[in-house]
């Protein structure tokens, strides 16, 4: 059974204070690892997909990296508008055409002035 564990559960940063969120996973044949951002009361918004160990993706102040056992979401010089819950999800191979993602419980990030 696929498992996704995210840490920490909650993180409070001051504006400009860089940090990393962790996503460790267990899956039989990784087809893709996904990062989403979710604001309160809204649906998750897609950020990145990583497919193989060593891959990196960047978007503004966010950079996602992937190893064979975990992924990190690095946040450089965060701003208050980066406050949200960040979700990690994995998809194993052999699921046909459906995107059956297994999600972690997320990291709630709060960035203060």
Partner 1 sequence: SQTIHQWPATLVQPVGSPLSLECTVEGTSNPNLYWYRQAAGRGLQLLFYSVGIGQISSEVPQNLSASRPQDRQFILSSKKLLLSDSGFYLCAWSLREKLFFGSGTQLSVL
List contacts with partner 1 (CB under 8 A): 4, 31-32, 34, 41-46, 49, 87, 89, 91, 96-106
Residue 83 tokens, joined: 């406050």
Closest contact distance (angstroms) between CB of 80 and partner 1 is 22
Closest contact distance (angstroms) between CB of 104 and partner 1 is 5
Closest contact distance (angstroms) between CB of 51 and partner 1 is 9
Query: 38, 34, 59: which is closest to 107 by C-alpha?
Result: 38
Is the CB of 15 or the CB of 39 nearer to partner 1? 39
What is the spatial distance between Cα 44 and Cα 14, in angstroms, rounded to a whole number?
24
Check residue 40 and report its DSSP letter: T
Query: 64, 76, 15, 55: which is closest to 36 by C-alpha?
Result: 64
Closest contact distance (angstroms) between CB of 53 and partner 1 is 18
Is the CB of 78 or the CB of 106 nearer to partner 1? 106
Is the CB of 78 or the CB of 101 nearer to partner 1? 101
Is the CB of 82 or the CB of 92 nearer to partner 1? 92
Q: Other C-beta atoms within 10 Å of 45: how many?
A: 11
Q: Are 47 and 60 in contact (CB under 8 A)?
A: no
């Amino acid at each position: 059974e696929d498992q996704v564990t995210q840490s920490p559960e909650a993180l409070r940063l001051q504006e400009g204070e860089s940090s990393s969120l962790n996503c460790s996973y267990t899956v039989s044949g990784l087809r893709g690892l996904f990062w989403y951002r979710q604001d309160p009361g809204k649906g998750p918004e897609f950020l990145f997909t990583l497919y193989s160990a060593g891959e990196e993706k960047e978007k503004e102040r966010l950079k996602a990296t992937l190893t064979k056992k975990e992924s990190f979401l690095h946040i450089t010089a965060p701003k208050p508008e980066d406050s949200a819950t960040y979700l990690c999800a994995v998809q194993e191979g052999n699921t046909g055409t459906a995107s059956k993602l297994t999600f972690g419980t997320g990291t709630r990030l709060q960035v203060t002035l």
